[in-house]
Amino acid sequence: MHSVWVDADPGFDDWLALLLLAQAAPQVQISGVSVVAGNAPLGVVLNNTLALRQLHQWTWPVYAGASKPLVAQPIDAGYVLGPSGMRTTGAELPKPDPTAKAQPAHAVSALLDWLCAPAAPGRRSLLATGPLTNIAGAIQQHRAAFEGLSEIVLMGGSTDRGNHTPAAEFNIAADPEAAAVVFSSGVPVRMVGLNVCRQVLLHAADVQRLQALMKPSTAGQMLVGYLDGYQRIRSAEGDLPMPLYDPVAALALLQPALFNWQMAPVDVELQGQFTRGMTVVDLRNRAGRPIAVRVAVGVDGSAVLAVVLQSIAAVAQPS
């Protein structure tokens, strides 16, 4: 059994990452989902998480985490994803039952409890698809708890350019100090950045095929509306393919052999006027620094896209 804790800010592509992990059951089990402010303020992404859980009749516990970064001013992705963090021109995500609630424990203490629980046989991994505030908070509180963890697989950063700014990827830009804590912690990390995610491109025809398979049908309509919304924001003519982010990291956790990896020290720029939040990936490591970060440096985008689509379609089918 491979137990996975997910820390996320749902978010359409956080949703696709959860779908991708769900298809791997029963070999992979989601032990808990902690939520962090990112794509939208905490209350909004928490609500989205509860609504997605209900939509797919998932049963994992949900924990609310950080509502703001460790030290930075909060930002969100409302300028792209709208106030709900899940802008779609198709079906809206149905509202969760008013009785649906997060667990009373804070995300950081719940994550630490999970890490400290007697190890069941098998691997334990953490998938992070939002800003790293909760995870950094847990490392700061109790670094030793991470000794039993196989690895943190995170969607964030880039070996080249950013998206939130020319230099910085959104999840790192949203809490650069937290990212610096995680990358320098010595906990084994796999970094899945924009440099590989931008090679995994979803086209309108893929979404149409998925829509026909996804259950419940609302899920397929939401996805169609997501791509449509993305294309409208960019005022694109025709089929503008959309890069996939968080599900690519979920796949890297399940099937790392689909990617090329290189060990490299990763620093986070905390000062730069134009580069704050940039991941500085030292692929040559001339200084011989000790390294705990495996950076995804290569991927066959169409092969990965095919596996992502197959997985999402598989979980979407009624059993």
Residues that bind ligand BDR (CB under 6 A): 11, 13-14, 39, 77, 129, 155, 163, 169-171, 245-246
Q: Which residue's beta carbon is nearest to the bound ligand BDR?
A: 170
Residue 53: count other Cβ atoms within 10 Å of its Cβ: 19
Given ligand BDR, Ca ion, none, residue 163, with its beta carbon under 5 to 8 Å by kind, binds ligand BDR
Quickly list H helices, the chain. Answer: 12-22, 42-55, 78-81, 107-116, 133-142, 170-173, 176-183, 194-197, 204-213, 217-233, 246-254, 301-316
Q: How far is the CB of 248 from Ca ion (least distance, A)?
A: 11
Please choose which of Ca ion, ligand BDR, none residue 34 contacts, taking the beta carbon within 5 to 8 angstroms, the exact cut-off set by kind.
none
77 binds, among Ca ion, ligand BDR, none (CB under 5 to 8 A by kind): ligand BDR
Measured between its terminal Cα atoms, the distance across the chain in Å is 21
3-class secondary-structure state, position 307: helix
In angstroms, give the least distance from the CB of 70 to Ca ion.
Answer: 18
- Residue 135 CA to residue 113 CA, distance in Å, equals 13
Nearer to Ca ion, 134 or 265 (CB): 134
The answer to whether residues 28 and 21 touch, using CB atoms and an 8 Å cutoff, is yes
Comparing CB distances to Ca ion, the nearer of 14 and 175 is 14
The least CB distance from residue 172 to ligand BDR, in Å, is 9
Q: Dihedrals φ, ψ of 244, to 5°?
A: -100, 135
> Which residue's CB is nearer to ligand BDR, number 112 or number 197?
197
Q: Identify the burial level of 55 via C-beta atoms within 10 angstroms of its C-beta, where 0-12 means exposed, 13-18 middle and 19 or more buried.
A: middle
Among 47, 49, 88, 129, binds Ca ion (CB under 5 A): 129
Of 5, 6, 7, 11, the one binding Ca ion (CB under 5 A) is: 11
**166 DSSP 8-state letter:** S
Return the residue of 5, 6, 7, 14 that touches Ca ion, per CB under 5 A.
14
Are 18 and 8 contacting, i.e. CB atoms less than 8 angstroms apart? yes
**Binding partner of residue 158 among Ca ion, ligand BDR, none, CB under 5 to 8 Å per kind?**
none
Select the binding partner of residue 169 from Ca ion, ligand BDR, none (C-beta < 5 to 8 A, by kind): ligand BDR
Burial class (CB within 10 angstroms; exposed 0-12, middle 13-18, buried 19+) of 290: exposed
* Contacting range for Ca ion; rule: CB under 5 A; set: 8-16, 133-141, 200-208, 218-226: 8-16
Q: Which residue has the tokens 């690895």?
A: 151
Amino acid found at 49: T
- From the list ligand BDR, Ca ion, none, pick the one residue 48 interacts with, judged by a Cβ distance below 5 to 8 Å according to partner type: none
Q: Is 36 helix (H, G, I), strand (E, B) or coil?
A: coil
CB of 179 to ligand BDR, least distance (A): 12
- Nearest distance, CB of residue 131 and Ca ion, angstroms: 8
Report what 211 binds from Ca ion, ligand BDR, none; CB cut-off 5-8 Å by kind. none
The one-letter code for the residue type at 105 is A
Out of 69, 130, 176, 193, the residue judged to bind Ca ion by CB under 5 A = 130
* Minimum distance, C-beta of residue 128 to Ca ion, in the bound complex (Å): 9
- Tell me the residue type at 243: P
Between CA 151 and CA 198 the distance in angstroms is 23
Nearest residue (CB) to ligand BDR, 151 versus 246: 246
Contact indicator for 182, 221 with CB cutoff of 8 Å: no
Q: Applying CB under 5 A, which residues contact Ca ion?
A: 9, 11, 14, 129-130, 246
